[in-house]
Copies of this chain bind each other. A is one copy, B any other.
Amino acid sequence: MQNMVYLDNNATTAVAPEVLEAMLPFFETQWGNPSSLHTFGSGTKRHIDEAREKVAALLGTADPSEIIFTSCGSESNNMALLGAASAIGGTPHVLTSQVEHSAVLGPCNKLEKDGCRVDRVPVDGVGYLDLNVLSEALTESNGPLLASFMWANNETGMIFPIAELAEKIHEAGGVLHTDAVQATGKLSINVQDVPVDMLSISGHKLHAPKGVGALYVRRGTRLDPLMLGGHQERARRAGTENVPYIVGLGKACELALERLEADTCREAQQRDRLESGILATCKGAVVNGVPACRLPNTTNISFEHLEGEGTLLMLDDIGVCVSTGAACESGSIEASHVLKAMNVPRSQMQGAIRFSVGRYTTEADIDYVLEQLPSIIERQRVLSPHLSD
């Protein structure tokens, strides 16, 4: 078997060597508690501040105090939705989409159970948000409004019109959170140009480790903490700071900003070459989503009448890592809620594979997949219980 070909960068990314190098001193020697009064502890605060500035820079805010460090993207999303709803008080009207990440849908379900009206705006066949339904929901809205729309979809890469959404939500007097976990490091994000009120990011999607994230909170946005107790993060997130990972996230954001143009340009070329190659050589391959409006690194391709898991496992056998569009829970294969919301035809639903290239993807990786995939798809078709035509 050749080296691993990793085309699953939307699931997680390699820790960048520069990030690991930046973190190591905080495991080895500078392990003091930032809340301590002695120099050994309090001296680590400076490194947290520097990291906060780097995250702020990537997101385009001049005010680092708008960045709260969290333990992951899921925590950022939970904190934004539950914390804002709590600060607003009562039962705000919640507006979101049908294709959000589970860490947004979960808190929305809880708010619904707690008595909030939750509207989940549908998408069309290629993943565009239905702006008519959105307008309708906004018209019907009375009382405080809390909205959460993802910047880009993790499964299809489809990008939502966040600037336009911010305008509409703000016109209606609402607060807008965006889950930018997949968008950060892949698109230019600037909270001055696109005035969202809250924005979630996750370290491990941009070459920092799993277990660190951040929530951008625009100054003046009312937000109750999710984690109560100590006064860390200006009393917005209790718990001794994870100094090594915070430093690592800072470094990862710095790298993402430096490399954004070069990385995404190369990734888009690799993704396009992969996608057009697959469409040309694999029978029954259909892209979910539209090219123009996607993350530069992602393509979600359905192989008609096939089971994605079979394709994934055959690719796994030859060292290629990808995801299915579908989430597999407790052994039962359930179709992706994203593809379901897009009303993807039944013949395409189960056969989706997400390919997501990344910083370390090589041309040889793309060559290898283009060389191997057609025969895998052919073998799958022979094994498949469905008729392929």
Binding site for B on A (CB under 8 A): 4, 6, 8, 11-15, 20, 23, 27-28, 31-33, 35-41, 71-75, 77-78, 101-107, 109-110, 202, 204, 209-212, 226-231, 238-245, 309, 312-313, 315-316, 321-324, 328-329
Contacts and interface: CB of A to CB of B under 8 A. Distances in A.
Contacts of A211: 71, 211-212, 240-242, 244-245
Contacts of A315: 38
Given A41-B321, A238-B102, A239-B75, A107 B309 contact: no
Q: Copies of this chain, how many?
A: 2
A44 to B, nearest CB: 10
A212 B209 CA distance: 13
B245 A37 contact: no
A313 B104 CA distance: 46
29 contacts: A11-B33, A11-B36, A12-B31, A12-B36, A12-B41, A14-B31, A27-B209, A32-B321, A33-B204, A33-B210, A37-B316, A39-B316, A72-B240, A73-B240, A74-B238, A75-B239, A78-B226, A103-B239, A104-B229, A106-B228, A106-B229, A106-B238, A109-B228, A204-B240, A209-B242, A210-B241, A211-B212, A211-B240, A231-B329
> Which of A6, A228, A245 has most B Cβ within 10 Å?
A228
B72 A228 contact: no
A240 B71 CA distance: 10
In the A-B complex, the 5 residue pairs with the closest CB atoms: A211-B242, A106-B228, A71-B71, A103-B229, A74-B239
A229 B38 contact: no
Given A36-B321, A242-B210, A229 B74 contact: yes
Given A8-B41, A242-B71, A78 B229 contact: yes
Contacts of A244: 209-211
A209 B231 CA distance: 19
A316 B212 CA distance: 31
A266 to B, nearest CB: 21
A18 to B, nearest CB: 12
Given A228-B110, A231-B329, A38 B238 contact: no
Contacts of A41: 8, 11-12, 321
A238 B106 CA distance: 9
Contacts of A8: 33, 36, 38, 41
> Which of A14, A109, A229 has most B Cβ within 10 Å?
A229
A68 to B, nearest CB: 13
Nearest to A14: B31
A27 B15 contact: yes
A235 to B, nearest CB: 9
Contact of A229 (B14, B40, B107, B204): B107
A316 B70 CA distance: 30
A341 to B, nearest CB: 17
A72 B38 contact: no
A14 B27 CA distance: 8
